[in-house]
């Protein structure tokens, strides 16, 4: 059984991006630039934005973080996006979600130029992904494909069962995996809350992807022996034995499922660290670079 080390793979990718950024700087005289807009003071968003800025710094990517209060108007936010759309030093724009209720999130996403859409949430990026044209893929599903690739787990011809159909994980990963291309070409089933007997489907999975948001929802009895299990979930549960009184767990009952899986991602340290690496990769790509 292999425990897929997302932290190590993420580091490898970031090292490759750093090398490509240095090459870009010496050959073309510029570096990729990322603009991050953070609205309000949501602690989780603040932590994500901080780690994105830190990653940019470590990789030699130029970055700007605009922090604005939760009271910012939609018009002000849209004009901020427009300013970055026209800024030649900025190749990627990211508006940290969620946004306050009075702002139309979709409108803001669509205001970002598709050429700078490093989060891969713009309908143009999603449409291209759907029809198999190279584009910006959103970081978490892109990270899952990269994990499979780097662990030499080829999904071609395999039955992949995805539990969850969100726009940021379930739907895009399912779409990416059905493409007729390398590191895809799978037979994909998507399960969700209207699925009556989830186990019926999960037990058929050669590769099981859990993106549910419910702690330890996938138990050993739901998994086929020898399956590859990718756990996207990040759930905080109470744990009196830790200093903080809480700890992070995935959507999979890791301790028991690892007994029968052929490979499994842990939480933390599996899919999570990949997200930032893929954002850095997208920013490099937006500036015209490749690893």
Q: Which of 34, 61, 126, 169 binds ligand NAP (CB under 6 A)?
A: 169
Judge whether 52 counts as a catalytic residue. yes
CB 214 within 8 A of CB 233: yes
Binding of ligand NAP by 155 (CB under 6 A): no
Cα dihedral value 208, 213, 215, 217, nearest 10 = -40
* Ramachandran class of 77: left when φ > 0, alpha when ψ lies in -120 to 50, beta otherwise: alpha
5, 14, 18, 96: which is the annotated catalytic residue?
Answer: 96
What is the C-alpha to C-alpha distance for residues 66 and 45, in angstroms, rounded to an integer? Answer: 13
Q: Is 132 exposed, middle or buried (0-12, 13-18, 19+ CB in 10 A)?
A: middle
Taking the least distance from each CB to ligand NAP, the nearer of 72 and 228 is 228
Taking the least distance from each CB to ligand NAP, the nearer of 273 and 289 is 273
Binding of ligand NAP by 170 (CB under 6 A): yes
- H/E stretch holding 78 reads helix 74-85
Query: Nearest distance from residue 248's CB to ligand NAP, in Å?
Result: 10
Taking the least distance from each CB to ligand NAP, the nearer of 6 and 92 is 6
Q: Is 224 exposed, middle or buried (0-12, 13-18, 19+ CB in 10 A)?
A: middle
Binding of ligand NAP by 9 (CB under 6 A): no
Judge whether 96 counts as a catalytic residue. yes
Task: Report, as residue numbers or ranges, the catalytic residues.
Answer: 52, 96, 119
Interface with ligand NAP (CB under 6 A): 140, 163-166, 168-170, 191-195, 198, 211-214, 217, 232-235, 271-272, 275
């Amino acid at each position: 059984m292999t425990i897929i080390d997302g932290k190590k793979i993420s580091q490898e990718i970031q090292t490759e991006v750093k090398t490509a950024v240095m090459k870009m700087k010496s050959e073309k005289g510029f570096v990729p630039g990322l603009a991050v807009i953070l609205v309000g003071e949501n602690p989780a968003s603040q932590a994500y934005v901080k780690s994105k800025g830190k990653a940019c710094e470590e990789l030699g990517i130029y970055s700007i973080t605009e922090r604005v209060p939760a009271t910012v108007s939609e018009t002000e936010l849209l004009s901020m996006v427009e300013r970055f759309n026209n800024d030649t030093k900025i190749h990627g724009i990211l508006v940290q979600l969620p946004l306050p209720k009075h702002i139309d999130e979709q409108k803001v996403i669509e205001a970002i130029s598709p050429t700078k859409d490093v989060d891969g949430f713009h309908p143009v990026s999603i449409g291209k992904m759907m029809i198999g044209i190279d584009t910006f893929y959103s970081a978490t599903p892109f990270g899952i494909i990269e994990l499979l690739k780097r662990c030499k787990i080829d999904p071609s011809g395999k039955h992949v069962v995805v539990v969850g159909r969100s726009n940021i994980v379930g739907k895009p990963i399912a779409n990416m995996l059905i493409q007729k291309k390398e590191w895809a070409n799978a037979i994909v089933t998507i399960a969700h809350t209207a699925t009556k007997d989830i186990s019926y489907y999960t037990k058929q999975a050669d590769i099981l992807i859990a993106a549910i948001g419910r702690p330890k929802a996938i138990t050993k009895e739901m998994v086929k022996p020898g399956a590859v299990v990718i756990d996207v979930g990040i759930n905080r549960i109470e744990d009196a034995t830790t200093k903080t009184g809480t700890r992070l767990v995935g959507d999979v009952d890791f301790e028991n499922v690892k007994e029968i899986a052929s490979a499994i991602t842990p939480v933390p340290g599996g899919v999570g660290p990949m997200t930032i690496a893929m954002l850095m990769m997208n920013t490099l790509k937006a500036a015209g670079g490749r690893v």
